[in-house]
Chain A
Amino acid sequence: MVKIKELVMPESLDEAYELFIAKRSSRIIGGGAFLRLGNATILKGVDLSKLALDYINQYEDKIEIGAMTTLYDVETSPILKDNFSGALSKCVKNIVGVQLRNIATIGGSVVGKYGFSDILPVLLALDATLIFYKQGEISLENYLNFENFQRDILEKIVIKKDKKASFQMMRNSDSDFSILNACVCFDDRGYTVVVGSTPGVAKICKKTSEALNNNMENEDNYNFLLEDLHFGSNLRASKEYREDIAKVLVKRCIKELN
């Protein structure tokens, strides 16, 4: 369990940012679901719950999701059910129970860069853009590859509309972590294949995507997944099992999209 020595609850982003950067030991608390995942002591927690960052707004060409939007709001939002073939709503449905999904936030899922995340593969496939308070815009793909990103506060996630997507996953039981998950998006870039829970963090499969865009019918396309990704073993599944399942899940995504 994470222990918190001091907790501040700022009411503006400006105040939150100043409090956060004032001390290197301070830490952002978004939804707070991570508090039960570790054993650290936080000297100063900067709680974002009073910043009104929980919203899902639709514009003509994009959708903006506030960083403090809970996973249950993502699941039940009519806007997200009607866009991206409902993939964003679908991907959070099996994350523990509704009680936790009412706490965990989309921002926390992104900033945590968790390998087991079900939402990262979908956001990555949809080419989501992150808006940070000070540093502004950065693509999710770049952010995930950035190892020393300057301390900042994630304000919102922006996704361009007019994309189709399919999310598939494999789990041992309904609310367990995914053994493996995959999302394929189809938009003006063509197909973008993403696989997560390898058990590493979700990654765009560039060779597989390119192969599918060149010739969709070729069964050998799926062998590129083994070149695109580094699969591993953990208590949920072996490396070899994940390698086989990855092909199945991506094929299912393609089938659902067509």
Chain B
Amino acid sequence: MIINTVINNENKTLTISPGEYLVDTLRDNGYKSVKRGCDKSTCGACSVIVDGKIVLSCTFLSARIDGKKVETIEGLQEEAEILGRKIVDKGGDQCGYCNPALIVTAIALKREFGKNATRDEIIHYINGNLCRCSGYISQLEAILEYVGE
């Protein structure tokens, strides 16, 4: 199948197989920030934004990005640097494997809720981003600070 999509503001024409998942398409095309974690719709490490909505790329068929806009952390550098710095300052980065998806999720959260997101709303929103190092408290503190700015 041939699809036309926009990835991080770049027009792309991609050849994909019918049952291909977005995590594979993105990684095969150089977007290595998109991690393959559990591969079972559970850990959130593969999270990307499609047409403004945060989704699990391991469970999202690539055919569905035809005509849509995909965002990964590679295209969100400015925002990612701000939040990334806060995560490091709070000691929440640890092994770093879950960080790209966590940051993308936090960016989607800020866009959706704005500066007024409450602590409970943030916890609920990032609930699907698992951190094997259990850096949750530091990550939450960093996101609270980032969202409030």
Contact = CB atoms under 8 A, between A and B. Distances in A.
B99 interface: no
Interface string A1-28: 1111111010000000000000000000
B128 A45 contact: no
B61 A175 contact: no
Given A29-B61, A36-B41, A100 B56 contact: yes
B107 to A, nearest CB: 13
Nearest to A41: B19
Contact of A3 (B1, B19, B63, B105): B19
Interface residues of A, number: 28
Nearest to A44: B18
A2 B127 CA distance: 26
Contacts of A7: 1, 18-19, 61, 63
Given A99-B54, A103-B56, A36 B63 contact: no
Nearest to A73: B53
A32 B39 contact: no
A97 interface: yes
Given A1-B39, A102-B55, A32 B61 contact: yes
Interface string B22-65: 00000000000000000111101001000001111011110110
B18 to A, nearest CB: 4
A9 B40 contact: no
B44 A97 contact: yes
Nearest to B63: A7
B54 A98 contact: yes
Contacts, number: 76
Interface residues of B, number: 27
Contacts of A33: 41, 59
Interface string A102-118: 11000000000000000
A36 B128 contact: no
A98 B125 contact: yes
The 8 closest A-B pairs by CB, nearest first: A97-B128, A4-B19, A7-B18, A99-B56, A102-B53, A36-B41, A99-B128, A102-B55
Given A7-B63, A98-B54, A99-B105, 11 more contacts: A4-B61, A6-B18, A7-B61, A36-B39, A45-B19, A72-B53, A93-B124, A96-B128, A97-B129, A99-B47, A102-B55
15 contacts: A32-B59, A33-B59, A36-B58, A72-B53, A93-B124, A97-B56, A98-B127, A99-B54, A99-B55, A99-B105, A100-B56, A102-B54, A103-B56, A103-B59, A103-B60
